[in-house]
Amino acid sequence: MEALTPDDPSRIGPYRLLGRLGAGGMGRVFLARSEGGRTVAVKLVRPELAEEAEFRRRFAQEVAAARRVGGEWTAPVLDADTDAREPWVATGYVPGPSLHAVVAGRPQPLPERSVRILAHRLAQALTAIHTAGLIHRDLKPANVLVTIDGPRVIDFGIARALDAVTGDNRTRTGVVIGSPGYMSPEQVRGETLTPASDVFSLGSVLAFAATRRQPFGTSTSGLHAVMFRIAQEEADLTGLPDGLADLVRACLAKDPAERPTPAEVADLTAEANEGDDADLPWLPGAVLADLGRRSAELLEAETPASPLPARPQGP
């Protein structure tokens, strides 16, 4: 977490800001606390996006749908003001690092059992998201937060609002819809998306967790090259454990109709949560110890004793 700057608001709606958690194409994300003491993550939309009437309309629709998403493996949407001068949405705070940070910070990929449990729970999260009428559109390791008891999917559904700012608006705002290394072939081609697009992204996420490599290359090898491989070439699954190969390849089918549904993925990986090992931790001990340390540090964040000279977020 980073400290607030004078350019950041001190409050957003009823929430007192504690620090910055990050920033992306849609806006900034802050750690905040409600008047009742609940810790939340608040995403504040970029001003240039807020000026787009169609963006606002779609953002309001997606937030309303996201508030209906259930399931224990998602970060719940708790509050929002889509009519504010700078719209915002508040979600339950997950005191854990991203899957990307966990995997990139290890010399080895996650063990097969951990990846199977990850697959089972992410599939359950996608089922809940799709049941609410949403498509995530940007499932990637950075949008999966890792905790001691399991993963949590964040930022679901809201990416659809960015469809309203394609073309010239995308150039003006710098917005890129989706993350190239984890897009589906139909996303790369700009086609209409179905929930099967998220399943392809799930396959790429699982491949990364199990190999520490993106299956179609990284942006350092060229954005267009990565997108071409996604659309036309087979994934590089070197090092993927044999027990995961069939599942990941099925998710990465080029034809959306040939991919399993999230419910089918959950069924195929259900045994990872059953049997004699069901009560064992889902992650290696070293990872769990690191998660415990990170959680303690993040939860110790306190409201600044002396408010920063930051502007309040307007109505």
Q: Choose, from 138, 155, 198, 290, the residue flagged as catalytic.
A: 138
Task: With beta carbons less than 8 A apart as the criterion, state whether 90 and 64 touch.
Answer: no
The 3-state secondary structure of the chain, one letter per residue: CECCCCCCECEECCEEEEEEEEECCCEEEEEEECCCCCEEEEEEECHHHHCCHHHHHHHHHHHHHHCCCCCCCECCEEEEECCCCCCEEEEECCCCCEHHHHHHCCCCCCCHHHHHHHHHHHHHHHHHHHHCCCCCCCCCHHHEEEECCEEEECCCCHHHHHHHHCCHHHHHHCCCCCCHHHCCHHHHCCCCCCCHHHHHHHHHHHHHHHHCCCCCCCHHHCHHHHHHHHHHCCCCCCCCCHHHHHHHHHHCCCCHHHCCCHHHHHHHCHHHHCHHHCCCCCCCHHHHHHHHHHHHHHHCCCCCCCCCCCECCCC
Residue 155: how many other CB atoms lie within 10 Å: 22
**Dihedral of the alpha carbons of 77, 65, 177, 58, in degrees to the nearest 10:** -120
158 phi, psi to nearest 5 deg: -65, -25
Active site residue 138: yes
Residues assigned a catalytic role: 138
